[in-house]
A = this chain, B = another copy of it.
Amino acid sequence: MNNKSIGVFDSGLGGLTAVKSISALLPKENIVYFGDTGRLPYGTKTEDTIKQYSASDIRFLLSHDVKMVVIACGTASSVALSDMRKMFDVPIVGVVEAACEAAVKATVNGKVGVLGTTATVKSSSYLRGISDIDNGIQVFQRACPLFVPLVENGHFNTEVTKLVVYEYLEEIKGQGVDTLILGCTHYPLLEKAISEYMGDGVTIINVCKELAKSIGTILGEDNLADREYGVCEYYVSDNAEGFAELGGVFLERKIDGQVKKIDIEKY
> A residues engaging B (CB < 8 A)?
37-39, 44-46, 48-49, 145-146, 149-150, 152-153, 155, 159-160, 163-164, 167, 237-239, 242, 265
Contacts and interface: CB of A to CB of B under 8 A. Distances in A.
A194 to B, nearest CB: 16
Given A163-B163, A167-B160, A38 B45 contact: yes
A145 B149 CA distance: 8
Given A46-B239, A145-B149, 13 more contacts: A37-B45, A38-B39, A38-B49, A46-B238, A46-B242, A48-B238, A49-B238, A49-B239, A145-B153, A146-B150, A149-B149, A163-B163, A265-B265
A246 to B, nearest CB: 11
A45 B238 contact: yes
Nearest to A242: B46
Nearest to A153: B145
B45 A239 contact: yes
Nearest to A37: B45
A148 to B, nearest CB: 8
A185 to B, nearest CB: 18
12 contacts: A38-B39, A38-B49, A44-B152, A45-B239, A46-B242, A49-B238, A145-B149, A145-B152, A146-B149, A159-B163, A160-B163, A265-B265
Contacts of A146: 149-150, 153, 155, 160
A237 B57 CA distance: 18
Contacts of A44: 152
Nearest to A44: B152
Given A49-B238, A238-B46, A160 B164 contact: yes
Nearest to A119: B239
A181 to B, nearest CB: 21
Contacts of A45: 37-38, 238-239
Nearest to A154: B145
Rank and list the top 7 A-B pairs by shortest CB-CB distance, nearest first. A149-B149, A49-B238, A46-B239, A160-B163, A145-B153, A45-B238, A265-B265
A39 B150 CA distance: 19
Contacts of A159: 163
A155 B239 CA distance: 28
Contacts of A265: 265
A146 to B, nearest CB: 6
Contacts of A163: 159-160, 163
A149 B242 CA distance: 19
